[in-house]
Protein backbone atom coordinates (compact mmCIF):
# COMPACT_ATOMS: atom_id res chain seq x y z
CA UNK A 1 0.00 0.00 0.00
CA UNK A 2 0.99 3.63 -0.43
CA UNK A 3 0.56 5.27 2.96
CA UNK A 4 0.81 8.93 3.95
CA UNK A 5 1.98 9.41 7.51
CA UNK A 6 1.06 12.87 8.77
CA UNK A 7 3.04 14.04 11.80
CA UNK A 8 2.01 17.12 13.75
CA UNK A 9 3.63 19.26 16.41
CA UNK A 10 3.14 17.34 19.61
CA UNK A 11 5.61 16.02 22.11
CA UNK A 12 4.81 12.48 20.91
CA UNK A 13 6.08 13.22 17.37
CA UNK A 14 9.11 11.01 18.04
CA UNK A 15 6.81 8.00 18.42
CA UNK A 16 5.74 8.48 14.79
CA UNK A 17 9.21 7.24 13.83
CA UNK A 18 8.22 3.84 15.27
CA UNK A 19 4.92 3.95 13.39
CA UNK A 20 6.85 4.72 10.21
CA UNK A 21 9.30 1.91 10.81
CA UNK A 22 6.51 -0.57 11.60
CA UNK A 23 4.65 0.30 8.40
CA UNK A 24 7.83 0.03 6.31
CA UNK A 25 8.68 -3.34 7.90
CA UNK A 26 5.26 -4.57 6.77
CA UNK A 27 6.19 -3.73 3.20
CA UNK A 28 4.29 -0.46 2.75
CA UNK A 29 5.63 2.63 0.97
CA UNK A 30 5.30 5.59 3.34
CA UNK A 31 5.45 9.29 2.51
CA UNK A 32 5.82 11.37 5.67
CA UNK A 33 4.07 14.74 5.61
CA UNK A 34 4.95 16.66 8.77
CA UNK A 35 3.71 20.07 9.78
CA UNK A 36 6.12 22.95 10.38
CA UNK A 37 5.56 22.53 14.11
CA UNK A 38 6.31 18.78 13.88
CA UNK A 39 9.75 19.56 12.46
CA UNK A 40 10.54 21.53 15.62
CA UNK A 41 10.19 18.25 17.53
CA UNK A 42 11.76 15.80 15.02
CA UNK A 43 13.72 17.05 12.01
CA UNK A 44 13.23 16.31 8.31
CA UNK A 45 16.40 14.14 8.02
CA UNK A 46 14.88 11.56 10.39
CA UNK A 47 11.74 11.26 8.26
CA UNK A 48 13.65 11.21 4.98
CA UNK A 49 16.15 8.60 6.16
CA UNK A 50 13.49 6.30 7.64
CA UNK A 51 11.02 6.63 4.76
CA UNK A 52 13.43 6.92 1.83
CA UNK A 53 11.18 9.68 0.47
CA UNK A 54 11.45 13.47 0.38
CA UNK A 55 9.80 15.55 3.05
CA UNK A 56 7.99 18.83 2.62
CA UNK A 57 5.57 20.79 4.77
CA UNK A 58 4.34 23.28 2.20
CA UNK A 59 2.28 23.25 -0.98
CA UNK A 60 4.90 25.46 -2.65
CA UNK A 61 7.51 22.71 -3.12
CA UNK A 62 7.38 20.13 -5.92
CA UNK A 63 4.86 22.37 -7.62
CA UNK A 64 5.59 20.83 -11.03
CA UNK A 65 4.07 17.58 -9.73
CA UNK A 66 1.10 19.33 -8.12
CA UNK A 67 2.07 17.62 -4.87
CA UNK A 68 -0.71 19.20 -2.79
CA UNK A 69 -3.23 17.13 -4.79
CA UNK A 70 -1.17 14.18 -5.98
CA UNK A 71 -0.10 12.89 -2.58
CA UNK A 72 -3.68 12.60 -1.34
CA UNK A 73 -4.95 11.18 -4.63
CA UNK A 74 -2.35 8.42 -4.71
CA UNK A 75 -2.67 7.38 -1.08
CA UNK A 76 -4.33 4.10 -0.08
CA UNK A 77 -4.34 5.19 3.54
CA UNK A 78 -3.59 8.40 5.46
CA UNK A 79 -2.51 8.09 9.09
CA UNK A 80 -1.88 11.14 11.26
CA UNK A 81 0.07 10.33 14.43
CA UNK A 82 0.25 12.26 16.61
CA UNK A 83 -2.62 14.56 15.67
CA UNK A 84 -2.61 17.85 17.60
CA UNK A 85 -5.74 19.67 18.72
CA UNK A 86 -4.77 22.25 16.14
CA UNK A 87 -4.69 19.71 13.30
CA UNK A 88 -8.13 18.36 14.29
CA UNK A 89 -9.53 21.90 14.23
CA UNK A 90 -7.96 22.72 10.88
CA UNK A 91 -9.11 19.45 9.32
CA UNK A 92 -12.63 19.88 10.64
CA UNK A 93 -12.74 23.39 9.17
CA UNK A 94 -11.52 22.09 5.80
CA UNK A 95 -8.42 24.27 5.82
CA UNK A 96 -5.55 23.63 3.41
CA UNK A 97 -2.85 25.94 4.73
CA UNK A 98 -0.05 23.38 4.58
CA UNK A 99 0.77 20.17 2.71
CA UNK A 100 -0.76 17.88 5.34
CA UNK A 101 -4.17 19.59 5.46
CA UNK A 102 -4.20 19.87 1.65
CA UNK A 103 -3.47 16.12 1.48
CA UNK A 104 -6.27 15.39 3.93
CA UNK A 105 -8.67 17.38 1.77
CA UNK A 106 -7.76 15.55 -1.42
CA UNK A 107 -7.52 12.02 0.01
CA UNK A 108 -10.38 9.70 -0.87
CA UNK A 109 -8.89 6.71 0.99
CA UNK A 110 -9.45 5.81 4.69
CA UNK A 111 -8.09 8.42 7.11
CA UNK A 112 -7.02 7.36 10.60
CA UNK A 113 -5.88 9.92 13.15
CA UNK A 114 -4.34 9.32 16.55
CA UNK A 115 -4.80 12.46 18.66
CA UNK A 116 -2.39 13.21 21.50
CA UNK A 117 -2.63 16.23 23.74
CA UNK A 118 -3.17 17.32 27.31
CA UNK A 119 -6.33 16.00 28.94
CA UNK A 120 -7.84 19.50 29.12
CA UNK A 121 -7.32 20.00 25.39
CA UNK A 122 -8.83 16.56 24.65
CA UNK A 123 -11.93 17.22 26.74
CA UNK A 124 -12.33 20.83 25.58
CA UNK A 125 -15.73 21.25 23.92
CA UNK A 126 -14.08 22.45 20.70
CA UNK A 127 -11.94 19.31 20.42
CA UNK A 128 -14.87 17.03 21.37
CA UNK A 129 -16.93 18.69 18.66
CA UNK A 130 -14.14 18.47 16.08
CA UNK A 131 -13.60 14.77 16.79
CA UNK A 132 -17.32 14.02 16.56
CA UNK A 133 -17.55 15.81 13.22
CA UNK A 134 -14.49 14.08 11.77
CA UNK A 135 -15.85 10.70 12.90
CA UNK A 136 -19.24 11.50 11.37
CA UNK A 137 -17.42 12.21 8.09
CA UNK A 138 -15.99 8.71 8.21
CA UNK A 139 -12.56 9.26 9.71
CA UNK A 140 -11.29 6.81 12.28
CA UNK A 141 -10.22 8.80 15.33
CA UNK A 142 -8.34 6.51 17.70
CA UNK A 143 -9.08 7.20 21.35
CA UNK A 144 -5.95 8.43 23.15
CA UNK A 145 -4.47 6.30 25.90
CA UNK A 146 -4.30 7.35 29.53
CA UNK A 147 -0.98 7.92 31.23
CA UNK A 148 1.95 10.27 31.67
CA UNK A 149 1.67 13.43 29.54
CA UNK A 150 4.25 16.10 28.62
CA UNK A 151 4.88 17.31 32.16
CA UNK A 152 4.39 15.52 35.44
CA UNK A 153 0.64 15.22 34.91
CA UNK A 154 -1.26 12.13 33.80
CA UNK A 155 -4.65 11.43 32.19
CA UNK A 156 -6.30 10.65 28.85
CA UNK A 157 -4.45 12.28 25.96
CA UNK A 158 -1.38 10.12 25.52
CA UNK A 159 -0.53 8.77 22.07
CA UNK A 160 -1.36 5.04 21.92
CA UNK A 161 1.52 2.62 21.35
CA UNK A 162 2.85 2.59 17.75
CA UNK A 163 1.79 -1.06 17.24
CA UNK A 164 -1.78 -0.22 18.27
CA UNK A 165 -1.83 2.70 15.84
CA UNK A 166 -0.54 0.49 13.03
CA UNK A 167 -3.13 -2.15 13.79
CA UNK A 168 -6.01 0.35 13.86
CA UNK A 169 -4.76 2.05 10.69
CA UNK A 170 -4.41 -1.15 8.69
CA UNK A 171 -7.74 -2.42 10.00
CA UNK A 172 -9.41 0.69 8.53
CA UNK A 173 -8.39 -0.56 5.10
CA UNK A 174 -9.57 -4.09 5.88
CA UNK A 175 -6.01 -5.41 6.32
CA UNK A 176 -4.37 -7.18 9.19
CA UNK A 177 -1.09 -5.93 10.64
CA UNK A 178 0.71 -8.79 8.87
CA UNK A 179 3.38 -8.05 6.24
CA UNK A 180 2.01 -6.72 2.94
CA UNK A 181 3.13 -9.65 0.81
CA UNK A 182 1.12 -11.19 -1.98
CA UNK A 183 -0.19 -13.95 0.27
CA UNK A 184 -0.70 -11.83 3.38
CA UNK A 185 -4.17 -12.45 4.77
CA UNK A 186 -6.58 -9.56 4.63
CA UNK A 187 -9.23 -9.21 7.27
CA UNK A 188 -12.73 -8.41 6.12
CA UNK A 189 -14.60 -6.32 8.67
CA UNK A 190 -17.83 -8.21 8.01
CA UNK A 191 -17.95 -11.91 8.79
CA UNK A 192 -17.93 -13.87 5.54
CA UNK A 193 -19.82 -17.15 5.24
CA UNK A 194 -16.57 -19.08 5.62
CA UNK A 195 -16.67 -21.33 8.63
CA UNK A 196 -13.12 -22.61 8.07
CA UNK A 197 -11.77 -19.40 9.64
CA UNK A 198 -11.57 -19.08 13.38
CA UNK A 199 -14.11 -17.03 15.34
CA UNK A 200 -11.36 -14.61 16.34
CA UNK A 201 -10.02 -13.95 12.84
CA UNK A 202 -13.44 -13.14 11.49
CA UNK A 203 -13.96 -10.25 13.88
CA UNK A 204 -10.34 -9.08 14.16
CA UNK A 205 -9.90 -5.33 13.75
CA UNK A 206 -13.45 -4.57 12.63
CA UNK A 207 -14.09 -2.28 15.62
CA UNK A 208 -10.58 -0.88 16.04
CA UNK A 209 -10.56 2.23 18.18
CA UNK A 210 -14.30 2.11 18.89
CA UNK A 211 -15.64 2.48 22.40
CA UNK A 212 -18.15 -0.31 23.04
CA UNK A 213 -20.43 -0.76 26.05
CA UNK A 214 -22.06 -4.16 26.58
CA UNK A 215 -24.59 -4.89 29.28
CA UNK A 216 -24.89 -8.49 30.45
CA UNK A 217 -26.73 -10.63 32.96
CA UNK A 218 -30.08 -9.96 34.53
CA UNK A 219 -31.26 -7.24 36.86
CA UNK A 220 -32.60 -8.04 40.33
CA UNK A 221 -35.27 -5.99 42.07
CA UNK A 222 -35.21 -6.42 45.87
CA UNK A 223 -38.40 -7.57 47.59
CA UNK A 224 -36.76 -7.61 50.99
CA UNK A 225 -33.16 -7.97 52.19
CA UNK A 226 -32.93 -11.59 51.03
CA UNK A 227 -35.32 -11.95 48.09
CA UNK A 228 -35.55 -10.39 44.69
CA UNK A 229 -37.50 -10.40 41.43
CA UNK A 230 -35.07 -11.54 38.76
CA UNK A 231 -34.67 -13.56 35.61
CA UNK A 232 -32.66 -16.50 34.36
CA UNK A 233 -30.02 -14.67 32.35
CA UNK A 234 -26.50 -15.97 33.14
CA UNK A 235 -24.63 -13.15 31.38
CA UNK A 236 -22.74 -15.67 29.20
CA UNK A 237 -23.97 -14.17 25.94
CA UNK A 238 -23.16 -10.61 27.04
CA UNK A 239 -19.70 -11.63 28.25
CA UNK A 240 -19.05 -13.43 24.94
CA UNK A 241 -20.12 -10.27 23.08
CA UNK A 242 -17.74 -8.17 25.16
CA UNK A 243 -14.92 -10.62 24.37
CA UNK A 244 -15.77 -10.55 20.65
CA UNK A 245 -15.83 -6.74 20.60
CA UNK A 246 -12.44 -6.63 22.35
CA UNK A 247 -11.04 -9.13 19.83
CA UNK A 248 -12.38 -6.84 17.10
CA UNK A 249 -10.20 -4.06 18.49
CA UNK A 250 -12.74 -2.12 20.55
CA UNK A 251 -12.20 -0.66 24.00
CA UNK A 252 -14.89 -2.48 25.92
CA UNK A 253 -16.73 -1.86 29.16
CA UNK A 254 -18.98 -4.67 30.35
CA UNK A 255 -21.77 -3.57 32.65
CA UNK A 256 -22.44 -6.79 34.50
CA UNK A 257 -25.78 -7.27 36.22
CA UNK A 258 -25.37 -10.17 38.64
CA UNK A 259 -23.02 -12.19 36.43
CA UNK A 260 -21.16 -15.08 38.09
CA UNK A 261 -17.44 -14.59 38.61
CA UNK A 262 -16.58 -17.69 36.56
CA UNK A 263 -18.33 -16.13 33.55
CA UNK A 264 -16.43 -12.88 34.08
CA UNK A 265 -13.15 -14.80 34.48
CA UNK A 266 -13.41 -15.81 30.81
CA UNK A 267 -13.14 -12.18 29.64
CA UNK A 268 -9.93 -11.12 27.89
CA UNK A 269 -7.60 -8.73 29.71
CA UNK A 270 -8.43 -5.12 29.04
CA UNK A 271 -12.23 -5.41 29.26
CA UNK A 272 -13.39 -3.09 32.04
CA UNK A 273 -16.13 -4.48 34.25
CA UNK A 274 -18.71 -2.45 36.16
CA UNK A 275 -21.03 -4.29 38.52
CA UNK A 276 -24.68 -3.33 38.89
CA UNK A 277 -27.66 -5.12 40.35
CA UNK A 278 -30.98 -3.31 39.85
CA UNK A 279 -32.49 -1.85 36.71
CA UNK A 280 -32.02 1.66 38.14
CA UNK A 281 -28.29 0.96 38.63
CA UNK A 282 -28.01 -0.46 35.13
CA UNK A 283 -29.77 2.61 33.72
CA UNK A 284 -27.43 4.96 35.61
CA UNK A 285 -24.33 3.11 34.38
CA UNK A 286 -25.52 3.03 30.76
CA UNK A 287 -26.47 6.70 30.80
CA UNK A 288 -23.10 7.65 32.31
CA UNK A 289 -21.31 5.94 29.40
CA UNK A 290 -23.72 7.07 26.69
CA UNK A 291 -21.92 10.33 25.87
CA UNK A 292 -18.64 8.63 24.96
CA UNK A 293 -19.73 5.27 23.50
CA UNK A 294 -19.62 4.48 19.79
CA UNK A 295 -21.67 1.31 20.26
CA UNK A 296 -23.96 0.20 23.08
CA UNK A 297 -25.10 -3.41 23.10
CA UNK A 298 -27.92 -3.97 25.56
CA UNK A 299 -27.71 -7.71 26.11
CA UNK A 300 -28.74 -7.68 29.79
CA UNK A 301 -32.18 -9.02 30.64
CA UNK A 302 -33.92 -6.16 32.37
CA UNK A 303 -36.80 -6.51 34.78
CA UNK A 304 -39.78 -4.62 33.37
CA UNK A 305 -41.22 -4.12 36.86
CA UNK A 306 -39.95 -3.67 40.41
CA UNK A 307 -41.73 -3.87 43.74
CA UNK A 308 -43.27 -0.50 44.62
CA UNK A 309 -41.38 -0.73 47.90
CA UNK A 310 -38.82 -3.22 49.19
CA UNK A 311 -39.45 -4.42 52.74
CA UNK A 312 -36.83 -3.28 55.27
CA UNK A 313 -36.88 -6.63 57.03
CA UNK A 314 -37.29 -10.18 55.80
CA UNK A 315 -40.94 -10.80 55.03
CA UNK A 316 -42.62 -13.49 57.18
CA UNK A 317 -45.38 -15.91 56.31
CA UNK A 318 -48.76 -14.62 57.44
CA UNK A 319 -50.93 -17.61 56.46
CA UNK A 320 -52.67 -15.40 53.87
CA UNK A 321 -52.05 -14.89 50.18
CA UNK A 322 -49.59 -12.12 49.51
CA UNK A 323 -50.06 -9.40 46.90
CA UNK A 324 -47.03 -7.37 45.90
CA UNK A 325 -47.57 -4.05 44.12
CA UNK A 326 -45.19 -3.57 41.17
CA UNK A 327 -44.30 -0.40 39.35
CA UNK A 328 -42.89 -0.20 35.85
CA UNK A 329 -39.14 0.24 35.44
CA UNK A 330 -37.68 2.80 33.03
CA UNK A 331 -37.11 1.58 29.47
CA UNK A 332 -33.30 1.85 29.34
CA UNK A 333 -32.92 1.22 25.61
CA UNK A 334 -35.65 3.70 24.74
CA UNK A 335 -33.95 6.25 27.04
CA UNK A 336 -30.62 5.75 25.25
CA UNK A 337 -32.33 6.22 21.87
CA UNK A 338 -33.86 9.48 23.14
CA UNK A 339 -30.47 10.73 24.40
CA UNK A 340 -28.89 9.95 21.06
CA UNK A 341 -31.71 11.50 19.04
CA UNK A 342 -31.40 14.65 21.17
CA UNK A 343 -27.73 14.88 20.09
CA UNK A 344 -26.45 14.28 23.62
CA UNK A 345 -24.26 11.31 22.73
CA UNK A 346 -21.39 10.61 20.37
CA UNK A 347 -22.27 11.26 16.73
CA UNK A 348 -23.05 8.08 14.83
CA UNK A 349 -23.59 6.07 17.99
CA UNK A 350 -25.03 2.63 17.23
CA UNK A 351 -27.59 1.14 19.61
CA UNK A 352 -28.17 -2.61 19.67
CA UNK A 353 -31.13 -4.11 21.51
CA UNK A 354 -31.83 -7.71 22.42
CA UNK A 355 -35.19 -9.43 22.35
CA UNK A 356 -35.63 -12.75 24.11
CA UNK A 357 -39.13 -13.72 23.00
CA UNK A 358 -41.29 -16.81 23.36
CA UNK A 359 -44.14 -15.87 21.01
CA UNK A 360 -47.73 -16.80 21.73
CA UNK A 361 -50.56 -18.79 20.12
CA UNK A 362 -51.30 -16.00 17.61
CA UNK A 363 -47.97 -14.11 17.31
CA UNK A 364 -44.62 -15.56 16.37
CA UNK A 365 -41.57 -14.76 18.50
CA UNK A 366 -39.87 -13.32 15.40
CA UNK A 367 -42.64 -10.85 14.66
CA UNK A 368 -42.60 -9.70 18.30
CA UNK A 369 -38.86 -9.04 17.95
CA UNK A 370 -39.32 -7.13 14.70
CA UNK A 371 -42.02 -5.00 16.30
CA UNK A 372 -39.73 -4.34 19.26
CA UNK A 373 -36.98 -3.05 16.96
CA UNK A 374 -39.29 -0.49 15.41
CA UNK A 375 -40.91 0.46 18.72
CA UNK A 376 -37.62 1.04 20.50
CA UNK A 377 -35.92 2.98 17.70
CA UNK A 378 -32.56 1.19 18.06
CA UNK A 379 -30.39 0.45 15.01
CA UNK A 380 -30.03 -3.31 15.36
CA UNK A 381 -31.97 -5.89 17.28
CA UNK A 382 -30.69 -9.34 18.16
CA UNK A 383 -33.54 -11.78 18.54
CA UNK A 384 -33.38 -15.11 20.29
CA UNK A 385 -36.20 -17.50 20.75
CA UNK A 386 -36.29 -18.49 24.41
CA UNK A 387 -39.31 -20.75 24.24
CA UNK A 388 -38.75 -24.27 25.57
CA UNK A 389 -35.81 -23.43 27.89
CA UNK A 390 -33.50 -22.28 25.07
CA UNK A 391 -30.66 -19.77 25.53
CA UNK A 392 -30.62 -19.06 29.27
CA UNK A 393 -27.57 -20.48 30.98
CA UNK A 394 -26.57 -22.66 28.02
CA UNK A 395 -23.33 -22.41 26.09
CA UNK A 396 -25.08 -22.37 22.69
CA UNK A 397 -27.52 -19.91 21.20
CA UNK A 398 -29.33 -19.15 17.95
CA UNK A 399 -30.08 -15.57 16.95
CA UNK A 400 -31.41 -13.46 14.10
CA UNK A 401 -30.12 -9.89 13.74
CA UNK A 402 -32.46 -7.27 12.28
CA UNK A 403 -31.69 -3.72 11.26
CA UNK A 404 -34.17 -0.87 11.11
CA UNK A 405 -34.51 -0.36 7.35
CA UNK A 406 -36.60 2.17 5.45
CA UNK A 407 -39.39 -0.40 5.02
CA UNK A 408 -39.24 -1.91 8.49
CA UNK A 409 -37.15 -4.66 10.04
CA UNK A 410 -34.58 -6.20 7.65
CA UNK A 411 -32.76 -9.40 8.50
CA UNK A 412 -28.98 -8.87 8.28
CA UNK A 413 -27.56 -11.97 9.95
CA UNK A 414 -28.51 -15.36 11.31
CA UNK A 415 -26.18 -17.29 13.56
CA UNK A 416 -26.27 -20.51 15.53
CA UNK A 417 -23.66 -22.25 17.63
CA UNK A 418 -21.56 -21.47 20.66
CA UNK A 419 -22.19 -18.12 22.29
CA UNK A 420 -18.64 -17.12 21.25
CA UNK A 421 -19.44 -17.97 17.63
CA UNK A 422 -22.78 -16.15 17.73
CA UNK A 423 -21.07 -13.14 19.32
CA UNK A 424 -18.55 -12.89 16.52
CA UNK A 425 -21.35 -12.86 13.98
CA UNK A 426 -23.27 -10.20 15.94
CA UNK A 427 -20.14 -8.03 16.26
CA UNK A 428 -19.50 -8.45 12.53
CA UNK A 429 -23.07 -7.24 11.89
CA UNK A 430 -22.42 -4.26 14.20
CA UNK A 431 -19.22 -3.40 12.29
CA UNK A 432 -21.06 -3.72 8.97
CA UNK A 433 -23.84 -1.42 10.20
CA UNK A 434 -21.27 1.15 11.36
CA UNK A 435 -19.68 1.25 7.94
CA UNK A 436 -22.98 1.58 6.03
C1 LIG B 1 6.62 21.30 24.19
C2 LIG B 1 5.32 21.36 23.45
C3 LIG B 1 4.54 20.23 23.41
C4 LIG B 1 3.31 20.26 22.74
N5 LIG B 1 2.56 19.13 22.70
C6 LIG B 1 1.36 19.17 22.10
C7 LIG B 1 0.57 18.00 22.08
O8 LIG B 1 0.95 16.93 22.56
N9 LIG B 1 -0.65 18.06 21.49
C10 LIG B 1 -1.12 19.22 20.93
O11 LIG B 1 -2.25 19.22 20.45
N12 LIG B 1 -0.36 20.33 20.93
C13 LIG B 1 0.86 20.34 21.50
N14 LIG B 1 1.62 21.48 21.50
C15 LIG B 1 1.10 22.67 20.82
C16 LIG B 1 1.32 22.59 19.32
O17 LIG B 1 2.70 22.44 19.03
C18 LIG B 1 0.75 23.84 18.65
O19 LIG B 1 -0.65 23.89 18.81
C20 LIG B 1 1.09 23.90 17.18
O21 LIG B 1 0.52 25.05 16.61
C22 LIG B 1 0.57 22.69 16.43
O23 LIG B 1 0.82 22.82 15.07
P24 LIG B 1 0.42 21.68 14.02
O25 LIG B 1 -0.94 21.22 14.36
O26 LIG B 1 0.47 22.40 12.70
O27 LIG B 1 1.47 20.65 14.09
C28 LIG B 1 2.86 21.48 22.12
C29 LIG B 1 3.68 22.58 22.16
C30 LIG B 1 4.89 22.54 22.82
C31 LIG B 1 5.73 23.78 22.85
> Does residue 193 lie within any of the structural domains?
no
Q: Are residues 179 and 232 in the same domain?
A: no
Q: Is residue 91 in contact with ligand 1, taking CB distance under 6 Å?
A: no
The answer to whether residues 96 and 137 belong to one domain is yes
Examine residue 188 and state whether it is found in any structural domain, yes or no.
no
Mean of the per-residue pLDDT values of the chain: 87
Residue 316 annotated as part of some ligand binding site:
no
* Alpha-carbon separation of residue 185 from 182, 262, 424 (angstroms): 9, 35, 19
Question: Any binding-site annotation on 317?
Answer: no
- From 183, 215, 247, the end of a domain falls on 183
Active site residue 231: yes
> What is the longest distance spanned by two Cα atoms in the chain?
96
Ligand 1 atom at minimal distance to the Cα of residue 37: 27
Domain end: 129, 159, 183, which one? 183
Q: What is the pLDDT of residue 103?
A: 97
Catalytic, out of 65, 124, 130, 231? 231
Query: Does residue 79 lie in a domain region?
Result: yes
Same domain, 156 and 275: no
**Do 8 and 86 form a contact (C-beta atoms < 8 A)?**
yes
Residues 147 and 224 in one domain: no
Q: Is 150 in the pocket of ligand 1 (CB under 6 A)?
A: yes
* Residue 13 CB less than 6 A away from ligand 1: no
> Is 272 found in the same domain as 151?
no
Let me know whether 175 and 240 are in one domain: no
Assess whether the previous peptide bond of 107 is cis (omega < 30° from 0).
no
Q: Can you spell out the DSSP letters for 179-227? A: ---TTPPB--SSPPS-TTS-HHHHHTTTTTT-EEEEEEEB--EESSSS-
Provide the whole-model pTM: 0.52
- Does position 239 have pLDDT exceeding 90, yes or no? yes
Number of structural domains, the chain? 2
> Residue 83: which domain range?
2-183
Residue 85 lies in a domain: yes
* Range 342-359 average pLDDT: 88
Single out the residue in 131, 157, 183 at which a domain terminates.
Answer: 183
**CATH assignment of the domain containing 44:** 3.40.50.1950
Quick one: pLDDT at residue 300? 97
Q: Using a pLDDT cut of 90, give the percent of the chain over it.
A: 64
Rg (alpha carbons) of the chain, rounded to whole number? 24
Return the pLDDT at 388. 62
- d(CA 114, CA 157) in angstroms, rounded, equals 10
User: Are both 134 and 217 inside the same structural domain?
Assistant: no
Verify whether ligand 1 is closer than 6 Å to residue 99 (CB atom).
no
Instruction: Say yes or no: 273 and 376 in one domain.
Output: yes
Amino acid sequence: MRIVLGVTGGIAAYKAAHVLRGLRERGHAVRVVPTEAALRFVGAPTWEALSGEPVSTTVFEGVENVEHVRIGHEADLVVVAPATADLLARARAGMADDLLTATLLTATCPVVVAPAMHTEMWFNAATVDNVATLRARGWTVIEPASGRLTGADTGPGRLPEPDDIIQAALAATGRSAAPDSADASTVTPVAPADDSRTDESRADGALSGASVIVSAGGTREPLDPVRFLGNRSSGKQGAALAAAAATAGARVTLIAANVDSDVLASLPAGVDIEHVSTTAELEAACTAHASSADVIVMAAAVSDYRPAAAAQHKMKKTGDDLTIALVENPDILRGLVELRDAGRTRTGQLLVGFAAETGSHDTSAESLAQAKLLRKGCDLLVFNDVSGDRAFGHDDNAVVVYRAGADGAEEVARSEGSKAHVSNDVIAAVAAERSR
